[in-house]
Chain A
Amino acid sequence: MLKILNSLLMISLLVACSKAPEQTSKIASYQWPIIEGFPKPQVPRTNPMSTEKVALGRELFYDVNLSFNKTQSCASCHIQSHAFAEPLTVSIGSTGQQHRRNAPALVNIAYNKTLTWAHDGLITLERQILLPMFGEQPIELGITGHDVEVLQRFDTLRYRELFVQAFYGKAPSYELIVKALSSFIRSLISLDSPFDRYAYLGDDNAISTSALRGMNLFFSEKLECHHCHGGFNFTQSTSHEKQLIDRRPFHNTGLYNVIDPTNAENMQAGIGGYPKLDIGLAEISQKSEDNGRFRAPTLRNIAVSAPYMHDGSIESLGAVLDFYAAGGREISKGINQGDGRKNKYKSVFIKGFKMTEQDKKDLLAFLHTLTDNSFLTNPAFKRPR
């Protein structure tokens, strides 16, 4: 009996302590253009990066065949020299319909925790890209209703070859188009600005003394900028391979406080919110405290992606600084009349601050050090020949 017991114990020990063989994971050959020490972005397991997918995605990104009426491509609203944003207040789709939002820059999107201006559940590009492609409100590329016709346009010798290379012989499909576009957009990495040379490569001469002063101001508790625009990507909404704890921050900056004339009680109490056209995260969450909350965008290349804010309602970087110094925006006339500074859901960090002319110059000088010229002119991101 004792013998049996002993052998059972031995077996139990052996079973308990032998480790399952580690799963061999495919090591992606794709080389991220990032300097030593920077964490790599996290990519969905179902769509690992490859140079072939990036190459196909680039062709598709610039191809007007992706819009139903062959008038627009992704690049129509996402222009490289503007950090893949555009100098329009809000975007205009392929039918001429106006979008309610400003085209966000496509900079380091691979690191984004969430996508679009205000959606806490939209966390992969593969899902986000469906919006401009198939969305009907507003119509952007307008593929819905024309999907067979649009897909047929990619049945060419050139594309068949690119699809074969990127997807091991598979024929063009929307799933693969989305995967390739996602891969190209993830490849748009900008980490080679004068600021990076100063901060991460230790080059003390990479930025001017004015920019240095501006940087110290930017990161001061007086200005509080870095509470929302913190971390290496200048947005708290960042995720990467070493970021194991999830946070999805959204903020109300006091841009609006529209008094609703249909609500007499609110009128009297002076309680308003963001314009009904766009109430930010509250539209998704259905929570009143999320009214006016939007994702803080990265500030990398911010100097070239004017105009600013989710609706492009601030024209210049200088005006943005004035807006934050004032602790919000008061609109005295028109349909959006109201004092955003008093918005009850405004972030606690938007308190306003005193800023001298010199401070402002220094802050602007600092923000310009985030412009990465090699990104804006990178031939690998240009329209393919």
Chain B
Amino acid sequence: MLIKTIKIMFIRCFVMLFVSYHLIGCSEQNTQTAQLTFSPSYSGVILNCQSIFNLKNTAWHYQKFQMYISNVELFEKESGWQIWPMKTTPYQHSNVALIADNCGELQQINNLSKEIRQKEDTNWQIILEPTSTQNIATKIRFTLGVPFELNHLNPLTQPSPLNFPSMFWVWQTGHKFLRIELASQDEHWLFHLGSTGCTAPSVMRSPSQPCKQPNTVVIELPFNPKNKNIHFDIAKLLAEIDVTLDTSCQSAFGDKNCLQPLNNIGITGKQQVFSIEGK
């Protein structure tokens, strides 16, 4: 009797599990998680908008951290590099994702729920289509920036997140690929990365040829299927930069304030800003 009851219970559990698997299955297609997580950090310590890091004995924090990541690819011995397609979400379209932390511009609004604040204000994940390659890949690469074909289109007709005015300069130069703004009590430092040297009849016209300085960076990292956390190390970005002297760089060609940031992010030097967590 007891054995029979256990048997029935076992079958019931099995059925329940199967049913729930299918219920989830049709909305998600596959329950396997396929996402990359980005975290801003300072020398390995993960930061948020309130976190302090010290530069020349002064407390600094970031006020804005936004970037476009495009064309994620995985490398696996047999088939080489393969695109890892992104899902379409408000933060992702055409294999371009916006990673963003706007530091609580919404936090002041009393009647917004915490979920909405977080949802609207921050996005640290890239949600990808599950692929079997993700279990065997050894390397990952992605582009910091928006591909030329998508970078200079009419922002009005673009889908989110490519229609986001605070990440768009003008048709001629296109999107800001990276927008990072730091602040201390009395000072600011900012770095806006984007294409320059784009030939167009005016700022409101698109270039027909790729820009002289596309300023996109392909980041290649070792891939560990169990650790998909990617750090953006602000300490590495600021290497050899005196934030109190070289106060801002907006990618202008020849701007001396841009020499070191462009080197550190990997345009003119070897990038060290992105790394797999713990490596």
Per-residue 0/1 for A188-232: is the Cβ within 8 Å of any B Cβ (1 yes, 0 no)? 000000000011100010000000100110011100001100111
Kindly identify, within residues 1 to 25 of chain B, every residue whose CB is under 8 Å from any CB belonging to chain A.
11, 15, 18-19, 22-23, 25
Segment of A53-61, A73-81, A130-138, A237-245 in the binding face: A237-245
Kindly identify, within residues 113 to 145 of chain B, every residue whose CB is under 8 Å from any CB belonging to chain A.
120-121
- Are B166 and A248 in contact (CB-based, < 8 A)? no
Q: Which of A200, A230, A242, A246 contacts B106 (CB 8 A)?
A: A246
Kindly identify, within residues 136 to 186 of chain B, every residue whose CB is under 8 Å from any CB belonging to chain A.
154-161, 163-166, 168-170, 181, 183, 186
Per-residue 0/1 for B171-212: is the Cβ within 8 Å of any A Cβ (1 yes, 0 no)? 000000000010100101010100000000111100000000
A157 contacts the other chain (CB 8 A)? no
Bound together, the chains give a CA A249 to CA B161 distance in angstroms of: 17
Q: Which residues of B contact A232 (CB under 8 A)?
A: 155-156
B250 contacts the other chain (CB 8 A)? yes
- Are B166 and A230 in contact (CB-based, < 8 A)? yes
A284 contacts the other chain (CB 8 A)? yes
Kindly identify, within residues 12 to 42 of chain A, every residue whose CB is under 8 Å from any CB belonging to chain B.
12-13, 15-17, 37-39
Minimal Cβ-Cβ distance residue in B for A230:
B165
CB distance from A123 to the nearest CB of B (A): 9
- Are A284 and B11 in contact (CB-based, < 8 A)? no
Q: Which residues of A contact B121 (CB under 8 A)?
A: 246
- Are A248 and B23 in contact (CB-based, < 8 A)? no
- Are A245 and B106 in contact (CB-based, < 8 A)? no
- Are A215 and B22 in contact (CB-based, < 8 A)? no
- Are A287 and B23 in contact (CB-based, < 8 A)? no
Q: Which of B11, B22, B155, B165 contacts A5 (CB 8 A)?
A: B11
Chain B interface extent, by class: 35 or more
A344 contacts the other chain (CB 8 A)? yes
Evaluate whether A221 and B252 lie within 8 angstroms (CB atoms) in the complex, with A245-B90, A249-B166 already known.
yes
- Are A242 and B160 in contact (CB-based, < 8 A)? yes
A285 contacts the other chain (CB 8 A)? yes
Minimal Cβ-Cβ distance residue in A for B20:
A12
Number of A-B contacts (CB under 8 A): 110
- Of A200, A220, A246, the most chain B CB neighbours within 10 A belong to A246
Q: Which residues of B contact A216 (CB under 8 A)?
A: 202-203
A147 contacts the other chain (CB 8 A)? no
Evaluate whether A344 and B22 lie within 8 angstroms (CB atoms) in the complex, with A37-B154, A246-B106, A247-B102 already known.
no
- Of A15, A198, A242, the most chain B CB neighbours within 10 A belong to A242
- Are A348 and B190 in contact (CB-based, < 8 A)? yes
Per-residue 0/1 for A328-357: is the Cβ within 8 Å of any B Cβ (1 yes, 0 no)? 000000000000000010001000000000
Bound together, the chains give a CA A37 to CA B155 distance in angstroms of: 10
- Are A9 and B181 in contact (CB-based, < 8 A)? no
Evaluate whether A219 and B169 lie within 8 angstroms (CB atoms) in the complex, with A243-B163, A244-B90, A245-B100 already known.
yes
- Are B160 and A226 in contact (CB-based, < 8 A)? no
Q: Which residues of B contact A245 (CB under 8 A)?
A: 90-91, 98, 100, 120, 160-161, 164
Bound together, the chains give a CA A248 to CA B108 distance in angstroms of: 10
- Are B166 and A236 in contact (CB-based, < 8 A)? yes
Q: Which of A1, A120, A230, A231 contacts B108 (CB 8 A)?
A: A120
B57 contacts the other chain (CB 8 A)? no
Evaluate whether A236 and B19 lie within 8 angstroms (CB atoms) in the complex, with A37-B154, A121-B110 already known.
no
- Are A121 and B165 in contact (CB-based, < 8 A)? no
Q: Which of B105, B159, B204, B251 contacts A249 (CB 8 A)?
A: B105
A321 contacts the other chain (CB 8 A)? no
- 16 additional contacts (CB under 8 A) given A1-B11, A12-B19: A9-B22, A16-B25, A37-B157, A120-B109, A200-B156, A215-B203, A215-B204, A221-B251, A230-B168, A232-B155, A242-B156, A242-B158, A242-B160, A243-B164, A245-B98, A287-B108
Question: Can you sample 5 A-B contacts with CB below 8 Å?
Answer: A39-B163, A231-B165, A231-B168, A245-B120, A287-B108
Those 9 A-B pairs whose CB atoms lie nearest each other, nearest first: A231-B165, A244-B90, A12-B19, A244-B160, A285-B108, A348-B188, A221-B250, A219-B203, A16-B22
Give chain A's interface residues, CB within 8 Å of chain B.
1, 5, 8-9, 12-13, 15-17, 37-39, 120-121, 198-200, 204, 212, 215-216, 219-221, 226-227, 230-232, 236, 238, 242-249, 281, 284-285, 287, 290, 344, 348
